[in-house]
Amino acid sequence: MTAEVASKRKSICIIAYSGELEPTWASMIIASTAAAMDMEVSIFVTFWGFGALVKDSKRLPGKNLMQRMLSVMQRPGISHRKLSKMNFMGMGPWMMFQLAKKYNVSKPKDLLGMCQELGVKIYPCQMTMDLFGLNKEDLIDGLEDPVGAATMLQLATEADSTLFI
Amino acid sequence: MTAEVASKRKSICIIAYSGELEPTWASMIIASTAAAMDMEVSIFVTFWGFGALVKDSKRLPGKNLMQRMLSVMQRPGISHRKLSKMNFMGMGPWMMFQLAKKYNVSKPKDLLGMCQELGVKIYPCQMTMDLFGLNKEDLIDGLEDPVGAATMLQLATEADSTLFI
Amino acid sequence: MTAEVASKRKSICIIAYSGELEPTWASMIIASTAAAMDMEVSIFVTFWGFGALVKDSKRLPGKNLMQRMLSVMQRPGISHRKLSKMNFMGMGPWMMFQLAKKYNVSKPKDLLGMCQELGVKIYPCQMTMDLFGLNKEDLIDGLEDPVGAATMLQLATEADSTLFI
């Protein structure tokens, strides 16, 4: 084994598919920890995962009625993610955030910022953007250019570990 | 490294566990894209994933009352998958299909056909077939013989990337 | 390739994140089968996955009101997992268990015991224990010491296959 191979950085690829609070949080914790460990980290964001990429301030993104209805039903923005269960009109997430604060666990939004500072590459899925009628301006800054499933598959098969979250 | 090793085709393994429309769609998009890229693709279908393997025309598969009740509660067939959220009596999936049509995204059923034409190997889980009382005749044509978790684990550990969807 | 490398045991890593009956069952089936095939198996249990690690007899773990409320809403214990859909006040899981018995599929609790006997390493997530206010005494015996995301990432990137369930 050559020195070059031996010193290869480890890499992980996350396919961020879910939109609820817990999987969003899990993705962000895993990605930021991996980046802090100097791993190469790529996140391919698709389907409901876009809840975390749309700017918190965007209330109703979408270009046509159906797309805007999707936004009404699933408010986008990383600060507006809901628990997958026991949401109780927002009380569930509120409790989670209180507990997280008490035990020094960063919020998903802060972890996302940390990921971006640590060089995590975040790829929006082009097809999802088309389906949901999202523009680049609807999304947070600092993302890679949108890509398709083929690019995602290259990232996934080259990574040491791929997680579909 | 010999030429043989260097030219090894990439491979992915999908464990298709979920039965809702979105994960079914995601599996089909990933599998058909990977096959089109000349990757080796295997899909192990288990638990609710069988919703996509039962023939659309089968209304109430199952050999005993309990198994038939499961079919009543979760209508099988790839054309009958429901959204995991905001299903709204079928309006959610209808909107999704309208948007997909508008943006040239193929339906899961068409993608499944494409997968089969491109040589994707689809393995039904034997244990799930037993539990749900499914026969080979309940399932679509062109599948591999049913296998167990041991075969799935071999596929998973040999693939470059494994996704539990 | 040396004999040592050629004979390396295969390994899988499961990130057990979900708390419902089906994913818990899936994790246990996969882990116990892999261990029986002499693979190295590690399970990192996090978030709702703790439903399977808390002792069945613990009714309301948690150190403060919010943590206890989480326990009220999601009764922990591997024998108390609910189906992700059609739970019907417990009738869904009951039907599942009846069918499982009929077709000789072991219950999650028995599979967990089998995993422990076969040397599967189960790592509780320290952060989740903090958030939910769980002590070592709340959890079943025979677990590894609690670890963080960094250890999980090492296990995941070293395994032949990693499944986020």
**Domains (ranges, CATH) in chain A?**
9-164 (3.40.1260.10)
Nearest to C143 by CA among C126, C127, C162: C126
Contact B149 C33 (CB under 8 A): yes
Contact call for residues A14 and A111 (beta carbons, < 8 A): no
Q: Residue C133's beta-bridge partner residues?
A: none
Mutant choice from B46, B85, B157 vs C, greatest count of C C-beta within 10 A = B157
CA distances from B151 to B125, B140, B145, C37, C160 (A): 10, 21, 11, 11, 15
Over residues A53-82, the pLDDT tens digits come to 999 999 889 898 888 877 877 789 999 998
Residue with tokens 């002499």: C38
Instruction: State mean pLDDT over A131-143.
Output: 95
Q: Residue A41's beta-bridge partner residues?
A: A12
Beta strands (DSSP E) in chain A are 11-16, 40-45, 121-124, 161-164
**What was the pLDDT predicted at A57?**
92
Q: Find, in chain A, the residue whose alpha carbon is nearest to that of C65.
A: A95
Instruction: Tell me which residue in A66, A131, A162 faces B161 most closely, judged by beta carbons.
Output: A162
**What was the pLDDT predicted at C4?**
53
- Shortest distance, CA C163 to any CA of chain B (angstroms): 6
User: Which other chains touch chain B, taking contact as 3+ CB pairs less than 8 Å apart?
Assistant: A, C
Instruction: Tell me which residue in A69, A73, A150 faces B33 most closely, judged by beta carbons.
Output: A150
CB pairs under 8 A between A and B: 65
Q: How far apart are alpha carbons C113 and C97 in whole angstroms?
A: 17
Question: Looking at the whole model, is its pTM more than 0.90?
Answer: yes
pLDDT cut 90: percent of chain A above it:
71
Q: Which residues of chain B fall below pLDDT 50?
A: 1-2
Q: Find, in chain C, the residue whose alpha carbon is nearest to that of A97.
A: C131
Q: Which two tokens stand for residue A133?
A: 């009628």
Mean pLDDT per 10-residue section of chain C, whose length is 165 residues: 65 96 96 98 96 92 85 86 76 84 92 98 96 94 98 98 98
Residue with tokens 């025309």: B57
Interface of B with A in 100-129 (CB under 8 A): 100, 103, 105
Q: How far apart are alpha carbons C89 and C76 in whole angstroms?
A: 16
Contact call for residues B52 and B58 (beta carbons, < 8 A): no
**What was the pLDDT predicted at A91?**
73
Cα dihedral across residues A141, A147, A148, A154: positive or negative: negative
Mutant choice from C20, C74, C75, C153 vs A, greatest count of A C-beta within 10 A = C153
Q: Left, alpha or beta for A104 (phi > 0: left; psi -120 to 50: alpha)?
A: left
**How far separated are the first and last CA of chain C, in Å rounded?**
34
Instruction: State mean pLDDT over A142-149.
Output: 98
Q: Residue C122's beta-bridge partner residues?
A: C43
Q: Which two tokens stand for residue C79?
A: 């024998």
Contact call for residues A77 and A58 (beta carbons, < 8 A): yes
> Which residues of B are less than 8 Å from A81 in CB distance?
none
**What was the pLDDT predicted at C27?**
97
Q: Which long-range contacts (CB under 8 A, 24 or more apart) does A57-65 make?
A: A58/A138, A61/A132, A61/A133, A61/A134, A61/A135, A61/A138, A62/A132, A62/A133, A62/A134, A63/A133, A64/A133
Q: Left, alpha or beta for A121 (phi > 0: left; psi -120 to 50: alpha)?
A: beta
Q: Find, in chain B, the residue whose alpha carbon is nearest to that of C11.
A: B157
DSSP state of A85: S
Q: How far apart are alpha carbons B99 and C72 in whole angstroms?
A: 41
Q: How far apart are alpha carbons C135 and C67 in whole angstroms?
A: 12
Interface of A with B in 125-164 (CB under 8 A): 127, 130-132, 148-150, 152-153, 156-159, 162, 164
